[in-house]
Structure 1
Amino acid sequence: MTQPVPMTEIWRGPFLESVHSGHAVICDDTGQIVRSWGDPHATVLPRSSSKMVQALPLITSGAAAKYGLTSEHLALACASHNGAAIHTDRVKAWLDHLGLSDDDFRCGPQMPNDPPARDALIIGDDSPCQMHNNCSGKHSGFLTLNQHMGGNAEYIEVDHPVQQACLAAFEETTGETSPGYGIDGCSAPNYASSLLGMARSMAWFASAADRSDRQSAAAEQLTTAMIKHPELVAGEGRACTELMRAMNGRVAIKTGAEAFFIAIIPEKRMGVALKVADGTTRASECAIAAILVELGVLEADHPATRKFMNAPILNRRGIDTGMIKPAAGFI
């Protein structure tokens, strides 16, 4: 089947009100499909779900070691964070360590999603800076790599050595030649692949401990960092953070804009890539949770799971009006 399949349903009382359809692939460490829904060969832009791939050159180049980056730095390099103090304080310290400032970023300012950080800006009649951008950790990694390489200031240009290193890592881990790129919300190129290619890349990350090459060692470091610091990868209340905590270090997951999601499952040597066709995040959060429950790495009744899958929909008076749940026949 090449058409997207129903993945997530929204119920209001006894009525099915909305259905979100999409594509998903589970891949093993040999690059083979374990299970798929919809079209595994659909061309996709993985958006922020590819950040750990973009972070590989940061380590393999020697830049991470040269600048003494810790697992916290690596988790932030993979993050789409809330702009909370735990994120921006660390980003500022990272920039200070490099001898750089907010002006060296090319990601653009963004109002933080973290309520205390957002409220502080409003109360202080202040504007957000680029450190508040949810991708500032990734861009700190780009700046570190760029400083190591001696590149020019425009590190986000597609022909810049930093982005060419990211492309090389992307094509190597997906096993595909990328058909092109789009410009992401943070202004960096985001390379396209098939959905299978992204699942293959995540399975390659999941099986990294089985290999001894430099690239695989870097992949293992990044996966470990994400699992160790789920609060840095996203933030409080976010699916990435809460579901990784619920899985107690067994799985790394990462969302991307327009309802993309990946999972790296080391104990099963499997990778998952998922795309909801209409770009609705609530649907991708429910669908990835359902797949993780099906694979036996996430408890269906864990409180964190119940926030995103089989979750009640409450109205403004706190009345239970319906439910968001996996579509009938999806899992």
Structure 2
Amino acid sequence: MTHPAHGAVTLTEIWRGPFLESAHQGHAVVCDATGQIVESWGEPGTVVLPRSSSKMIQALPLIQSGAAAAHSLTPEHFALACASHQGAQVHTDKVGTWLDAIGCADDDFKCGPQESRDIDVRDAMIRAHESPCRIHNNCSGKHTGFLTLAKHLGAGPDYVNPDHPVQKACLEAFERVTGETSPGFGIDGCSAPNFACTLHGMARAMAHFAAADDDSAEALLHRAMAHHPDLVAGEGRACTRLMRAMNGKVAIKTGAEAFFVAILPDQKMGVALKITDGSTRAAECAIAQILVRLGALDPNHPEALAYTNGPIRNWDGLVTGHMRAAPALL
């Protein structure tokens, strides 16, 4: 297998005054509706783990199996199934209601407990001497989707086992939309298998979502994400901020270790990118600049500028430098 750094190009730069202090390298691919590469940086054939950027693919069987219709799921449910949420009250309340509706409880989750990333919730729980629950895990929406599908299929409780019908359905969907046979999987932070593909394959999958018919499972999912950006991530997060800036026209999703994807229905294009050193800040900058490049994000929108040319401040509030998209993306 090719080392992920092989052929990588600089996508994000960190400047301090007049000096280039750091540079983040990676790979990025833009595909059209036919799955062909429109533009790329680095090596499109790099094998990657898309991590949470693949959640909309993992949610396809939830709809295509009939489970979503059987349980009267709404766009809010679909957004949560695709979410890496903050664990804010809006997230845990809605996931909790969904969990109750399918007759499950926190103990049924196979994702581990995670401290809420919402500062107010976290601090309140610390003051109350309360321990984080599994519902606070950023993947609890996806796992409620898995539990819903498992119930619909009459399958057992170990829904994260790679041999479980839920994960077999996820693999089938993954290989179908990426157009590739996955070479394997890693275990994700939430204990579910995360299937590997090439970066080209992931961009092809996102373009497939972008070009899908309006009444398809793919369209239901990407519209739910774009129309409920607060549920997909949370306040202050790049996914939420940038989707709001694009007025519900584009769905984007981050993944751990500096992965990012975008689904652009108007352009019928899909984007996938990976920063090889795992720097989230660099992935956020690069995806924002690619969205600007493709005409989906206004280059002068304050949220765009915050990521494509964001000021770096010291503890006294002085601007000491900038994070910028590298010349290759301009």
TM-score range, shorter chain: over 0.9
Query: What are the within-5 Å matches in structure 2 for residues 127-166 of structure 1?
Result: 127-166=131-170
5+ unaligned residues in a row in structure 2: which ranges? Answer: none
Deviation at 1:327, TM superposition (A): 1.2
**Residue equivalent to 1:268:** 267
* CA shift for structure 1 position 40: 0.2
Identical aligned residues as a percent: 64
Matched, 1:318 2:322: no
Give the counterpart letter for 2:272 in structure 1. A
Match of 1:255 in 2: 254
- 1:117 is matched with 121
Paired residue secondary structure (1:35): strand
Q: How big is the alpha-carbon RMSD for the aligned residues of Structure 1 and Structure 2?
A: 1.1
> Is the CA contact 1:250–1:267 (under 8 Å) kept in the aligned structure 2?
yes
Q: Is the 8 A contact 2:31 2:204 kept in 1?
A: yes
The C-alpha deviation readout for 1:212-259, integer Å capped at 9, x for no partner, is: 7xxxx1001001100110000000000000000000111100000000
Residue 89 of structure 1 deviates from its aligned partner by: 0.4
Q: Which amino acid aligns with 2:247?
A: N
Q: TM-score, normalised by structure 2?
A: 0.97
* Aligned residue number for residue 186 of structure 1: 190
Aligned to 1:50: 54
Q: TM-score of the superposition, structure 1-length normalised?
A: 0.97
Query: Superposed, which structure 2 residues align to 1:287-298 within 5 Å?
Result: 287-298=286-297
* Whole-angstrom CA distance in 2 between matches of 1:314 and 1:114: 23
Q: Distance in 2 between matches of 1:301 and 1:80?
A: 27
Q: CA deviation at 1:321?
A: 0.6
Gaps of 5+ in 1: none
Question: Do 1:23 and 1:274's aligned partners in 2 also have CA atoms closer than 8 Å?
Answer: yes
Confirm or deny: 8 A CA contact 1:6 1:330 kept in the other structure: no
**Counterpart selection for 1:94 from 94, 98, 101:** 98
Work out whether residues 7 and 326 of structure 1, in 8 Å CA contact, stay in contact via their aligned partners in 2: yes
- Trace 1:211-222 onto structure 2 (pairs within 5 A): 217-222=216-221
Matched, 1:24 2:28: yes
Shift of 1:123: 1.0
* Number of matched pairs: 326
The amino acid across from 2:244 in the alignment is R
| Aligned position for 2:301 | 302
Structure 1 residue identity aligned to 2:224: A
Per-residue CA distance 1:259-299 (angstroms, 9 max, x = gap): 00000000011000000000000000000000000111101
Q: Distance in 1 between matches of 2:12 and 2:121?
A: 32
- Flag as ranges the 4+ runs of structure 1 deviating above 3 A: none
